[in-house]
């Protein structure tokens, strides 16, 4: 009894330590409402859900409903929604890190398990995971699924209930982002293989498989059922599955560059694994079940890497975040062989690198001061604000109405979304409709996005030249300016880009 209380106190201390680390390394972001365009938009959707809006019907996007429910939940208590969602995300990070140390210590000891958990927290800052990107949330669920599968592999848990937990966790994760499907499929195959090795009768194993598949599909089927019952089944199907086929591919060279960036960020962790060869530290003196468990972690890492490659989008480092979770687990036995000084130096180096990345990101995208300045200049006296290119958070910061179902700027202003097959409406027709409502203010960005939609840009340029004047230019870095246009004639502020530069369509 005394030994169990001691273990509980130790684990309570670990949880507290991880919570402090997470709060410290992410604190820089708490006061910044514009750390990521995606999560600004997710919060906007969550806010409008609380006022009766239906994702896909009233506001278009492709993310599953679970992600928007998380953001709506963060917004539910009121107060500062930007801080609330970051605190919710931090809670998920702490839970994931705590689970990591519990799994990793089985293969590497308590100290290395704690280091692996801390490295997970730190690596998020290197890969745009400092806020509420979807992997920050679903990694916790995939860890639960992986840990349940690991119990079966190590023969510490019964096949049917552990498999049910694993597949139920995958099912919920699917409603945060569908990209977890390959990992979930691999977990299911591992469970079936374990049943086959344990000589479970085929009929019983098939029954288990049906239960697991049903649990994995249940959250998605419930989401569709709710929408279908409300008469929105087609909108749900289009947004969740059909619209992705209408997206155009980005240039291969740019995707290759993004992939190289992701690999570069992951390289130190991969080198720890490659040179440390942690599988060699689990020799014949280690129980066979433990060795089998570590082989499962290697399979998980391979599955996560394959899933990222299969998804095929590398425009942002956060697409590779799912790799970090199994990578720190696999690296833990190698870290256990390091001397304390080397471990501390490595952790501090990753911490410093993450803080530098956050500072550079804020310098490039702007922070709280710039967001407030743009919002003050863009607050419409009448009608709605329209953000053609810029912070989606401006709709909340200005308390503006929404001028369109397609309020995420990239759905109207980029080449890869430039078709009705991709977003459900002709972008040119939609921007004409928006501009015909005479928005009270229009926000644009300079320099122009390299993969912008030239047709919608031309429509905007003509209306701005005829009916609006450039009212404010807010620098958000050495080479980026947020532009605010207001109706009617007026003086152009000093320091803005030239009229010729603004009129050009790249």
**Residue 278 resides in a domain:** yes
The confidence score (pLDDT) of residue 503 equals 84
**CB contact at 8 A, 437 and 403:** yes
The confidence score (pLDDT) of residue 56 equals 98
* Residue keyed to tokens 């450039």: 470
**Residue 284 resides in a domain:** yes
The verdict on 348 and 377 lying in the same domain is: no
The confidence score (pLDDT) of residue 479 equals 84
What are the pLDDT digits (tens) for 309-355?
998 889 899 999 999 999 999 999 999 999 999 999 999 999 999 99
The confidence score (pLDDT) of residue 4 equals 62
The verdict on 58 and 165 lying in the same domain is: yes
Domain count, the chain: 2
The confidence score (pLDDT) of residue 324 equals 98
Residue 385's domain comprises 366-503
From 362, 390, 412, the end of a domain falls on 362
| Regions of the chain short of the pLDDT cut 70 | 1-6, 8, 283-284
**Residue 170 resides in a domain:** yes
The confidence score (pLDDT) of residue 361 equals 94
**CB contact at 8 A, 120 and 112:** no
The verdict on 357 and 373 lying in the same domain is: no
The confidence score (pLDDT) of residue 260 equals 97
**CB contact at 8 A, 230 and 411:** no
**From CA 481, how far away is CA 301, in angstroms rounded?**
41
From 362, 386, 416, the end of a domain falls on 362
- Nearest one of 93, 121, 119, 147 to 300, comparing CA atoms: 147
The verdict on 232 and 314 lying in the same domain is: yes
What are the pLDDT digits (tens) for 409-434?
999 999 999 999 999 999 999 999 99
pTM of the model: 0.96
The verdict on 274 and 343 lying in the same domain is: yes
The verdict on 351 and 370 lying in the same domain is: no
The confidence score (pLDDT) of residue 495 equals 86
**From CA 43, how far away is CA 49, in angstroms rounded?**
10
The confidence score (pLDDT) of residue 490 equals 95
The verdict on 306 and 381 lying in the same domain is: no
**Residue 149 resides in a domain:** yes
**From CA 83, how far away is CA 396, in angstroms rounded?**
13
The verdict on 429 and 295 lying in the same domain is: no
């Amino acid at each position: 009894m005394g030994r169990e209380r001691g273990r509980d106190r130790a684990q309570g201390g670990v949880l507290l330590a991880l919570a402090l680390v997470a709060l410290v390394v992410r604190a820089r972001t708490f006061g910044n409402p514009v750390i990521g365009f995606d999560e600004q938009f997710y919060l906007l959707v969550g806010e409008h859900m609380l006022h009766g809006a239906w994702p896909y019907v009233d506001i278009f996007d492709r993310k599953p409903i679970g992600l928007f429910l998380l953001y709506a939940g963060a917004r539910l208590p009121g107060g500062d929604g930007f801080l609330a969602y970051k605190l919710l995300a931090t809670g998920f990070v702490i839970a994931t890190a705590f689970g990591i140390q519990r799994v990793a210590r089985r293969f590497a000891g308590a100290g290395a398990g704690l280091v692996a958990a801390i490295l997970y927290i730190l690596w998020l800052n290197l890969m745009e995971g400092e806020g509420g990107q979807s992997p920050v949330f679903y990694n916790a669920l995939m860890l639960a699924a992986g840990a349940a599968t690991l119990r079966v592999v190590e023969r510490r848990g019964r096949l049917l209930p552990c498999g049910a937990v694993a597949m139920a966790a995958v099912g919920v994760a699917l409603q945060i982002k569908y990209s977890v499907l390959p990992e979930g499929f691999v977990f299911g195959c591992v469970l079936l293989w374990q049943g086959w090795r344990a000589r479970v009768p085929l009929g019983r194993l098939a029954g288990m498989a049906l239960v697991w598949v049903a649990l994995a599909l249940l959250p998605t089927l419930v989401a569709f059922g709710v929408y279908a019952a409300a008469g929105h089944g087609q909108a749900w199907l289009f947004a969740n599955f059909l619209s992705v086929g209408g997206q155009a591919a980005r240039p291969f060279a740019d995707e290759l560059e993004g992939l190289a960036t992701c690999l570069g960020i992951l390289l130190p962790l991969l080198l720890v694994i490659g040179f440390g060869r942690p599988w060699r530290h689990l020799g014949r003196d280690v129980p066979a079940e433990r060795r089998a468990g570590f082989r499962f972690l290697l399979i998980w890492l391979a599955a996560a890497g394959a899933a990222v490659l299969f998804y095929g989008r590398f425009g942002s480092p956060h697409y590779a975040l799912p790799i970090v979770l199994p990578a720190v687990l696999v690296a833990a036995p190698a870290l256990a062989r390091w001397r304390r000084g080397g471990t501390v130096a490595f952790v501090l180096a990753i911490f410093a690198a993450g803080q530098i990345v956050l500072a550079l990101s804020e310098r490039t995208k702007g922070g709280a001061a710039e967001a407030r300045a743009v919002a003050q200049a863009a607050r419409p006296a009448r009608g709605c604000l329209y953000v053609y290119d810029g912070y989606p958070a401006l709709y909340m910061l200005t308390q503006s109405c929404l001028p369109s179902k397609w309020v995420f700027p990239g759905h109207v202003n980029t080449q890869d979304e430039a078709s009705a097959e991709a977003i459900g409406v002709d972008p040119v027709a939609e921007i004409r409709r928006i501009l015909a409502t005479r928005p009270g203010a229009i926000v644009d960005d300079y320099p122009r996005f390299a993969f912008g939609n030239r047709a919608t840009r031309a429509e905007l340029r003509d209306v701005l030249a005829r009916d609006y004047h450039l009212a404010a230019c807010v620098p958000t870095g050495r080479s980026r300016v947020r532009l605010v246009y207001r109706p009617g004639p007026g003086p152009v502020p000093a320091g803005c880009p030239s009229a010729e530069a603004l009129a050009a369509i790249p």
